[in-house]
Structure 1
Amino acid sequence: MNKLVFAALLGVVSGSVFSSPPSELLVHSCLQHEAAAPSVTVKLLDPHEIVEQDDYAQGFDAPYTFQYKGGDAGYAKRKSDLALIYMGKLYRLSSAMPLGDNHGVKPSSFTPYLAHWSIVQQGTQQYFCVSFNFDGLGQSGDFQYVHGGYLLNTQTKELYYSVRHTRPSGE
């Protein structure tokens, strides 16, 4: 009996390790679409063929899909409901958990054609990432350095949302 309880506790503890939110280094790497530290890798996804699919799944249309490792990735919408697509599954933006201080900015839509798509990884944590600068607002002002992004944990499928000021430290 004690072995069974210990195994159950071990499963809970190890599960909580995998469901921890991404580190700030991962968040900044996602939003800047380049590694913020040597411990982080960023693989930029360069969709060569974009496909628009009406009635993609669950009543969602997919105006922007591309292939990644044999599955669909991209962006989907249904009326006011929006979602990321990863490996053919939908992840609603409204369910994204906020990371840190997002300055009151709630999960929102973005223009997928203007966004940066990547896979960011640090150690065993890997995230499907989309980052955007709110459709180019503030191209010449300080707002150009404010980026939003969604990070989907590729193992646990937890979706996070973040807004950060990403001005390079040398400026």
Structure 2
Amino acid sequence: MKSRFATVIMFASSVGWAAPPSKNLVKSCLQARSVSLSVTIRNINVEEVFQEDGYADGFNASYIFKYEGVDMGYAERKRDQALIYSGKLYRLSNSIPIGSNSEVKSTAFNPTLAQWSLAKEGKQQYFCVGFNFYGLGQSGSFQNVHGGYLLNLKNRDVYFAVRDIRQ
């Protein structure tokens, strides 16, 4: 019985048991600006972008940049995509949907049109990328629907969200 308990504890700690990001943090990430006094956003001004075939695990880094000495960006392999943070890949297909968008599947995005940022709320820190679905909705109400990925920098969970940013 003792070994079963230890296995459960080990599994629970590997899952992370961290709470998903708050509504204010998600909305701030999707807009790349703080919507609450409790959230701070540091926008990443991408000035130089590189591409690297064979970056890691069969992925090609189609959009990679350095920020404070850390590799960040976007990678692709056939029909699979990943975020790059600190030289490691985080597959979008493994992202956890949050909020009321559980029926929406994670999706590829155009990294050149995305907004990249770092967000902090309390002790939680996230690498964020927000996008408006390949620039669709340049006019009309769909321009207010944004998607985004939030990488928890502590436990490395990746979350996916879609929201109407007016709400």
Q: Which runs of 5+ in 2 are unaligned?
A: 1-5
CA-to-aligned-CA distance 1:80-134 (integer Å, 9 cap, x gap): 0100000000000000000011173210000000000000110100000000000
Q: Could you say which residue in structure 1 is the equivalent of 2:160?
A: 161
* Partner Cα distance (1:131, 1:45) in 2: 12
Query: Offset at 1:140?
Result: 1.1
Number of aligned residue pairs = 157
Q: Which runs of 5+ in 1 are unaligned?
A: none
- What amino acid is aligned across from residue 57 of structure 1 in structure 2? A
Structural mapping, 1:44-63, within 5 Å: 44-63=43-62
Q: Could you say which residue in structure 2 is the equivalent of 1:96?
A: 95
Kindly indicate whether the alpha-carbon contact (under 8 Å) linking 1:103 and 1:163 is maintained by their aligned counterparts in 2.
Answer: no
* Partner Cα distance (2:33, 2:87) in 1: 26
Secondary structure of 1:161's counterpart equals strand
- What amino acid is aligned across from residue 99 of structure 2 in structure 1? G
CA-to-aligned-CA distance 1:146-169 (integer Å, 9 cap, x gap): 0000000011100000000002x6
TM-score (norm: length of structure 2): 0.89
- What amino acid is aligned across from residue 36 of structure 2 in structure 1? A
Secondary structure of 2:75's counterpart equals strand
Q: Could you say which residue in structure 2 is the equivalent of 1:131?
A: 130
- Identity over aligned residues, as a percent? 53
Secondary structure of 1:77's counterpart equals strand
- What amino acid is aligned across from residue 129 of structure 1 in structure 2? C
* Partner Cα distance (2:134, 2:126) in 1: 22
* Partner Cα distance (2:74, 2:133) in 1: 15
Secondary structure of 1:136's counterpart equals coil
Over 2 Å off, 4+ runs:
none
C-alpha RMSD of the superposition: 1.8
TM-score (norm: length of structure 1): 0.87
CA-to-aligned-CA distance 1:61-94 (integer Å, 9 cap, x gap): 0110001232210000000010000000000000
- What amino acid is aligned across from residue 79 of structure 1 in structure 2? K
Q: Could you say which residue in structure 1 is the equivalent of 2:63?
A: 64
Q: Could you say which residue in structure 2 is the equivalent of 1:84?
A: 83
Q: Could you say which residue in structure 1 is the equivalent of 2:21?
A: 22
Kindly indicate whether the alpha-carbon contact (under 8 Å) linking 1:68 and 1:87 is maintained by their aligned counterparts in 2.
Answer: no
* Partner Cα distance (1:118, 1:71) in 2: 13
Q: Which stretch shifts more, 94-103 or 52-61? A: 94-103
Kindly indicate whether the alpha-carbon contact (under 8 Å) linking 1:146 and 1:163 is maintained by their aligned counterparts in 2.
Answer: yes
